[in-house]
């Protein structure tokens, strides 16, 4: 580790090496890892009430490890999954098991009550995200929930671009419409049972959304829907989408 600042536009630098470098860093480059506080993740993702003693959790994208450690302190049984071996090395002594992202298809079936992905999807291509969601869904228990956060551009023309530059993956600037994510989830074999906007950042021209993904046989919404009219509308649109209705255009997709 040479302490060198990396240039995200350097196309010779593979995405795995980008993350490994930052996780091995001496603290100067923590910006990319973020260190979201548990309460800034669990409440917006609407999973706090599910995280009890004995809850089996898959935490995807460990960053600085704050949420992972807090889950263990709560008495949850925690598995951690990350793209970077250095990230997993820092928390392997506190969790039950670690998984490299490349090995996601080896996750045990019917195991997790909750899977969490916060500030990770915006670093992933559609192909990577679809394949990760597709591997996590069968690893959920029948009533398990995969809580996924993703970024959306307020200028809808910026969302769902067909090609994703390596620089955007590194910077975490991959943005998607809710309708597009619903289609990726559909293609992954899951269903969205809840969705809400959890952050607005007009200064960056973006917003954050969260969705709950379940196995297709999951029969009912996992949590109370947002009380807002917009939240109820988004939920109704998702139900219509999963029923095959092409409402995606209403949600801002250009496809």
Residues of this chain that interact with ligand SAM (CB under 6 A) are 19, 33-36, 41, 60-63, 81-84, 87, 101, 118-120, 123-124, 128
Task: Rank residues 34 and 158 by Cβ distance to ligand SAM and give the closer one.
Answer: 34
**Token pair recorded at residue 76:** 């949850």
Beta bridge partners of 210: 149, 196
How would DSSP label each residue in 184-201?
HHHHTT-EEEEEEEEEEE
How many other C-beta atoms can be found within 10 angstroms of the C-beta atom of residue 32? 18
Q: How far is the CB of 105 from ligand SAM (least distance, A)?
A: 13
If the CB atoms of residues 41 and 56 are measured against ligand SAM, the closer one turns out to be 41
Q: Residue 90 Cβ, how far from ligand SAM at the closest point, in Å?
A: 10
Taking the least distance from each CB to ligand SAM, the nearer of 20 and 218 is: 20
Contact 83, 19 (CB under 8 A): yes
How far is it, in rounded angstroms, from Cα 234 to Cα 225? 10
Q: Provide the minimum distance between the beta carbon of 81 and ligand SAM in the complex, in angstroms, as a whole number.
A: 6
Least Å distance, CB 61 to ligand SAM, is: 3
Distance from chain centroid for Cα 198: 13
Report the residue number, 60 or 114, with the smaller CB distance to ligand SAM.
60
* Minimum gap (Å) between residue 223 Cβ and ligand SAM: 20
C-beta closer to ligand SAM: residue 23 or 248? 23
Q: Which is nearer to ligand SAM, 194 or 208 (CB)?
A: 208
CB of residue 93 to ligand SAM, shortest distance in Å:
17
- Burial class for 26, CB neighbours closer than 10 Å (0-12, 13-18, 19+): exposed
List, in sequence order, the alpha helices (H) in 123-249. Answer: 126-136, 166-171, 178-187, 229-242
Retrieve residue 141's tokens: 């228990």
Q: Which residues contact 172 (CB under 8 A, 6 or more apart)?
A: 32, 119, 122, 123, 151
Q: State phi, psi for 23 to the nearest 5 degrees.
A: -70, -30
């Amino acid at each position: 580790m040479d302490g060198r600042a990396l240039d995200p536009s350097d196309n010779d630098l593979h995405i795995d090496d980008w993350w490994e470098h930052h996780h091995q860093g001496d603290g100067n480059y923590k910006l990319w890892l973020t260190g979201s506080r548990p309460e800034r993740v669990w409440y917006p993702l609407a999973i706090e009430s599910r995280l009890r003693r004995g809850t089996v959790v898959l935490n995807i994208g460990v960053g600085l490890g704050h949420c992972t450690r807090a889950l263990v302190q709560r008495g949850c049984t925690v598995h951690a999954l990350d793209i970077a071996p250095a990230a997993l090395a820092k928390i392997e002594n506190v969790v039950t098991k670690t998984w490299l992202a490349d090995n996601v298809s080896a996750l045990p079936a019917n195991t997790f009550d909750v899977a969490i992905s916060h500030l990770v999807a915006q670093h992933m291509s559609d192909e990577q995200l679809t394949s990760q969601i597709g591997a996590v869904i069968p690893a959920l228990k029948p009533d398990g929930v995969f809580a996924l956060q993703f970024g959306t551009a307020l200028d809808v023309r910026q969302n769902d671009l067909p090609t994703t530059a390596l620089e955007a993956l590194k910077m975490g600037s991959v943005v998607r419409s809710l309708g597009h994510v619903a289609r990726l989830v559909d293609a992954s074999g899951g269903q969205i049972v809840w969705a809400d906007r959890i952050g607005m950042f007009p200064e960056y021209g973006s917003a954050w959304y969260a969705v709950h993904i379940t196995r297709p046989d999951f029969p009912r919404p996992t949590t109370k829907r947002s009380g807002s009219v917009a939240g109820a509308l988004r939920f109704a649109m998702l139900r219509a989408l999963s029923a095959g209705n092409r409402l995606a255009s209403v949600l801002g997709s250009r496809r």
